[in-house]
Chain A
Amino acid sequence: MIRFIINGLLRDHHRSLFPIIIVAIGVWITVFMQAYLSGVLGDMTDSTARFSTGHVQIMSRAYADNKDQVPNDLALMGVERIMTEMEAEYPEMTWVKRINFGGLIDIPDEHGETRSQAPVAGFGIDLLSPNSTELHTMNVSKSVVRGHLPENPGEILISEMLAEKLEVNLGDQATLVTSTMFGSMTMHNFTVVGTIRFGIQAMDRGAIIADVTDVQQALDMQDAAGGILGFLPNRVYDNEEALAIVEKFNAGHTDENDEFSPVMGNLVELSNLGGYLTYAGQFSTYLVVIFVIIMSIVLWNAGLLGGLRRYGEVGVRLAIGEPKGHIYRSLIYESVFIGIVGSIFGTALGLGCAYWLQVVGLDISAFMKNSSMMIPSVFRAEITDQTYYIGFYPGLFATVLGTMLSGIGIYKRQTAQLFKELEV
């Protein structure tokens, strides 16, 4: 009987090719969308972790409460001691101190007078230590457009866009005008040795990157930092693992009565990504469910049309004594075959497109010129384990469901009418 079914499918393109094309298209879109969502989510989570929060971050309670304002006057103190402690307790993790700051950058002319000026967002990161991981974390090396990385104290990188705007050349002096941790005004001279482009509009419009020790000096933040960022092993975020670390740290360090006591938060909590990640996870499920429903309806209709075409065949099979259940099951076997073949083709197509988007990416920088969101301007798909099998849910389920619905007609067929029906 299996050979009978397969022969019928192979020879009758109306009951194989057409449904397989529908299934393949649906699966293709599902697979591609899953990979695209994974990529976008992964990029956003990764960008947020690398540039903003780490996987976990230690701040003072007061700083954490006002972190959107980057309040360096509420910075975390005793940074070296805490870092030593964390490195000892979690040696497999990477711990770095960072200072984010705002200010004005002033570019003087040959007479020392202001030639151009602009507000900047500054990042103080470890650029000069021989074993610094920050160059990799912030992707600094690959982001250099002109010049080179800072090699000596007092050297900075500024964003290429800002450099063009301020007409800054490599080797030019730049004066940072800002306030110290204690609220007094300060000016600190740096030398621009390179320009960078991160591919994140919010940073590319006006970022400067300096060594964290220089920033500590400039802002009078000895042994202080905006925060200590911790990255889990292999740089893969695991919410449960991060939460366990957070709970343990806060239980031992946070004092509810001391607003300058350290407090740790995790990526999801600090970036407010929790709801977003939940939504995105649900969206993937909705996507599959929606495709199952749509494809089921389409395949149901295709099954009804096929049922009309095969009215005579089913009639003959009933007349010669094939039980209705047997015919119904044979149609389901056909649909399983179609579902598997369509899912394989659809998954292959989806993977192909996802791979292309993973490698090439989708550049949306043109739409983000004024964006202040910390998201990458090139979206890439990400092929995960789920990408390989997710298409089989709508592919198989919808095909079988569509066939089950359309096949119900077999049970409604009156054998008493067969002679009349088969004479048509």
Chain B
Amino acid sequence: MNNSALITITDLVKRFPMGKREFTALSNINLTFNGGEFAGIIGPSGSGKTTLLNIIGSLDVPTEGKAVVLDNSVGNLNTRQSADLRNQYLGFIFQTYNLLAVYTVFENVELPLLLLKMAASERRKLVNQSLEWVGLTDKVNSRPAQLSGGECQRVSIARAMVKEPKIVLADEPTANLDAKNSHHILQTMEKLNADLGTTFIFATHDEKVIQYLKRKISLEDGQVVADEVKG
């Protein structure tokens, strides 16, 4: 693990308006994530996992406190700067894969690179490498509808990894998969974490995921109640 802090969260509070009142989703969060972590934010529904993941992913901003991601204070970024941060340094894996149905596996994985205005030959090289990591080189021309759920999620991982981001954020990545596919996916991500040093942060309450995590941050009612590092 690289001990330099990629993410520093200080006294973070997030409130949402609910009618005339406000709902506090996150309260007094203080966390640091270093490079190469394989960490999970765990907790029951409504505990604030996804909200925290949103802020780390610069999809949302703190109401109070600070979240600094790769030296960028998320609360101070405008929408363009947030998009640039996500585009260049962050990868996302969703519960329902969210692959684009009309595009092939290759094109789905290639999409983030198109935004980086990379040359076609370089894109091809990176997409093939990424598909090799997830073991889908034989499916480059397939459409998502022709793939199994596990394969779709592997494509989703390839899409998140293709630009070799510093951080990958995964929200319930195994929720739609059976046990066998879940383990396969998690092993793939574990290997990528080990081989490439990419930081993985999960939001989950799935025991199958939790058993792979090297660090478990437990949230309850928007507060960190435990922060355990395995071994």
Q: How far is the CB of B30 from chain A (nearest CB, A)?
A: 21
Q: Show 14 residue pairs from A and B whose CB-CB distance is below 8 angstroms, ordered by the A residue.
A: A1-B114, A8-B103, A320-B111, A321-B86, A321-B87, A321-B90, A321-B112, A323-B80, A324-B83, A419-B53, A419-B54, A419-B59, A422-B94, A423-B172
Q: Mark A4-15, 1 if CB is under 8 A from B, else 0.
A: 100110011000
Taking A319-B59, A322-B83 as given, write out 5 further A-B residue pairs in contact, using a Cβ cutoff of 8 Å, ordered by the A residue number. A313-B100, A321-B86, A415-B79, A419-B203, A423-B95
Q: Mark B4-23, 1 if CB is under 8 A from A, else 0.
A: 00000000000000000000
The answer on a CB contact under 8 Å between B87 and A320 is yes
Q: How far is the CB of A266 from chain B (nearest CB, A)?
A: 61
In the complex, chain B residues 151-173 whose Cβ is within 8 Å of any chain A Cβ: 159, 171-172
The answer on a CB contact under 8 Å between A322 and B87 is yes
How many chain A residues sit at the interface, stated as a range, is: 20 to 34
| Central interface residue in B91, B98, B107, by most chain A CB within 10 Å | B98
Q: Mark A227-247, 1 if CB is under 8 A from B, else 0.
A: 000000000000000000000
Q: How far is the CB of B92 from chain A (nearest CB, A)?
A: 5
Any chain B CB within 8 A of the CB of A420?
Answer: yes
Task: Name A's interface SS.
Answer: helix
CA of A389 to CA of B114, assembled, Å = 35
Set of chain B residues within 8 Å of A323, measured between Cβ atoms: 79-80, 83-84
CA of A420 to CA of B54, assembled, Å = 10
Q: A residues touching B (Cβ–Cβ < 8 Å)?
A: 1, 4, 7-8, 11-12, 312-313, 315-324, 326, 415-416, 418-420, 422-424
The closest CB in chain A to the CB of B175 belongs to A423
In the complex, chain B residues 52-103 whose Cβ is within 8 Å of any chain A Cβ: 53-54, 57, 59-60, 79-80, 82-88, 90-92, 94-96, 98, 100, 102-103
Any chain A CB within 8 A of the CB of B119?
Answer: no
Set of chain B residues within 8 Å of A418, measured between Cβ atoms: 54, 59
Q: B residues touching A (Cβ–Cβ < 8 Å)?
A: 50, 53-54, 57, 59-60, 79-80, 82-88, 90-92, 94-96, 98, 100, 102-103, 107, 110-112, 114-115, 159, 171-172, 203
The answer on a CB contact under 8 Å between A320 and B172 is no
The answer on a CB contact under 8 Å between A322 and B115 is yes
The closest CB in chain A to the CB of B84 belongs to A321
CA of A12 to CA of B103, assembled, Å = 9
The answer on a CB contact under 8 Å between B83 and A315 is no
CA of A12 to CA of B98, assembled, Å = 16
The answer on a CB contact under 8 Å between B59 and A12 is no
The answer on a CB contact under 8 Å between B96 and A423 is yes
The answer on a CB contact under 8 Å between A321 and B103 is no
The answer to whether residues A423 and B82 also contact, given A313-B100, A319-B92 and a CB cut-off of 8 A, is: no
The answer to whether residues A317 and B54 also contact, given A323-B80, A424-B96 and a CB cut-off of 8 A, is: no
The answer on a CB contact under 8 Å between B85 and A321 is yes
The answer on a CB contact under 8 Å between B114 and A419 is no
Q: How far is the CB of B167 from chain A (nearest CB, A)?
A: 13
